[in-house]
Structure 1
């Protein structure tokens, strides 16, 4: 019987760029400018933004898309969790590219 490989662990939030003062300050400003989840707004609901989400996956703060405002979207906790589970391999799902239309 072949032994299954453990999935690679994600780097901690600091290494991924989210625990830095620069990101915290950016996130705070972004949420002030985008107070509601963009997915929920399209459905006619005003749900407060929980996360500044990267539309296309980034590798860390050195990735040019990490700081690119057009690669950010405001998401509520529910929508962010749903996207993470579906596209980032959460809950045992395979990672796949995000499709804004799905």
Structure 2
């Protein structure tokens, strides 16, 4: 496993989202801690955070939690993506909230 981690760390820039999630999942399933691997995985994942499919993201975050390793670079990227989405959609969300204010309790309008 150490050799796999070593080679993976040298080729991390070639990994796509599925590669990152699967590698993290494999090492965490075996509870195999390799110095530096999860740090590099977190950095690589943060660079492509908006490309992860939900299952990949769930697997990746689960892997970090199982290994008790910080996923801060990834979490900061996800927070930034979320905040940008909120800013972009704030006007639309406000108009939906106002439309809901027009109804009264009990289903009457």
Give TM-score scaled by structure 2 length.
0.25
Structure (1 or 2) with the greater helix fraction: 2
Which is strand-richer, 1 or 2? Answer: 1
TM-score scaled by length of structure 1: 0.26
Flag the structure with larger Rg: 2
- Higher relative CO (Cα under 8 Å, sequence separation at least 6) belongs to 2
